[in-house]
A = this chain, B = another copy of it.
Amino acid sequence: MPKEPIRPNIGNIQPYVPGKPIEEVERELRISNVIKLASNENPLGPSPKSIEAINKYIKDVSLYPDQACYELSGMLAEKFELSPDNIVIGNGSDEIMMLIALAYVSAQDEVVISLNTFSTYETVSKLMEASIVRVNLKNYRYDLEAMAKVCGPKTKLVFVCNPNNPTGIMNTRKEMDELVSKVPPNAILVIDEAYSEYVEAKDYPDSLEYIRAKKNVVILRTFSKIYGLAGLRVGYGIAKPDIIKYLRLVRLPFSVNRMGQIAALAALTDTHFVEASRKNNSEGKTYLYAELDKLGVSYLKTEANFIFINLNEDADMVFMQLMRRGIIVRPLSSFGMPGSIRVTIGTQDQNKKFIKALSEVIKR
């Protein structure tokens, strides 16, 4: 009796659809100077302090990284006034999502996930054979009330992306407090705050309070966005030590590379760079809102470093036409929103080029 060679749920995994890499577009379309506004990277590049640190330690790339991420956990603990035992570092926060699923999720469990959000929550849950319970967005926002309502005795994880990728809309402290109080005692609430450093709204949740109160909450943060280190893959999880110890246990040794650890440490000290990145984003947002209004294009106000633009049936055409003009944006069909695109807020120069290209494309 021959067995199925692969695990039965593997066939249901959807491959991740990344933003088109610059190299690929330049190769395929034979154009150069392509601008990528597709993956919410930091348009100011990496922090100069990260570059300096990489340069200083470049010869050490032949040595294994510190598997405990001793210094980086320590510095993050200090920043948040927590213990290093509250922190787990990962190969991007993606890896932490996988570690949570690996440590906690089995075939009999349910995982509560919103539609129209970052797809890796669903991927890691399916890899561990969970049943996915899907909840709709409500006016492009996470519907935390509906998520609380579908929680039950089988719920193991609840994923919330705040602010949400790709809509840029956040949930308030009041809404989040409410959800935290309603998640069942055996479930873990995972709050992905990849874009938290860009939030300008005053009523954004202070999720560290949930950690201090020893709630079953894991906060995910990343060095890929405001810290400008997407290429080096460093993310982290914050939770109570009872959770962190298992995430560390299921993490393979050395998953966080040496240059990533070194560059992240340096980036944390560069408050000037973080401030400049925030300012660039805030100014870019204002500029883009005004220009999109002039063009009569429908968009959502964002708390992140990207803008969600509604184009209805024209979205794919606009994406293609922008690409031919050397600008890569993100078409949102893989997010279940085929009528929309997501555009990273770039430098002022990039924003202008994007608006110029967009105006040409939609006027045709």
Contact = CB atoms under 8 A, between A and B. Distances in A.
Interface of A: 1-3, 5-7, 10, 13, 15-16, 18-19, 21-24, 36, 39, 41-42, 44-46, 50-51, 54-55, 58-67, 70, 91-92, 94-95, 97-98, 102-106, 120, 123-124, 127, 153, 156, 185-186, 188, 224, 228-233, 246, 248-250, 252-255, 257-260, 263
A186 B2 contact: yes
Contact of A54 (B46, B54, B230, B246): B54
A327 to B, nearest CB: 15
A45 B63 CA distance: 8
B50 A63 contact: no
Given A18-B253, A55-B58, A104 B63 contact: no
A58 B62 contact: no
Nearest to A60: B231
A51 B46 contact: no
B64 A19 contact: yes
A257 B254 contact: no
A10 B246 contact: yes
A51 to B, nearest CB: 6
Contact of A61 (B18, B39, B50): B50
Given A231-B258, A257-B257, 19 more contacts: A5-B104, A5-B186, A7-B105, A10-B249, A15-B248, A16-B252, A18-B67, A23-B66, A23-B70, A24-B70, A36-B63, A39-B64, A55-B55, A63-B231, A92-B252, A97-B252, A124-B252, A232-B257, A259-B259
Contacts of A257: 91, 231-233, 257, 259-260
Given A91-B91, A94-B254, A231 B6 contact: no
A65 B258 CA distance: 16
Nearest to A61: B231
A102 B120 contact: no
- 3 closest residue pairs by CB, A with B: A231-B258, A16-B253, A62-B228
Given A18-B253, A94-B254, A249-B10, A59 B51 contact: yes
Contact of A6 (B15, B104, B248): B104
Contacts of A232: 61, 257-259
Contacts of A153: 1, 3
B41 A62 contact: yes
A45 to B, nearest CB: 5
Contacts of A95: 252, 255
A231 B259 contact: yes
Contact of A46 (B36, B59, B65, B185): B59
A123 B67 CA distance: 16
Nearest to A216: B5
Contacts of A62: 41-42, 44-46, 228-231
A322 to B, nearest CB: 18
A90 to B, nearest CB: 10
A250 B18 CA distance: 15
A313 to B, nearest CB: 28
A152 to B, nearest CB: 12
B263 A186 contact: no
Contacts of A39: 63-64
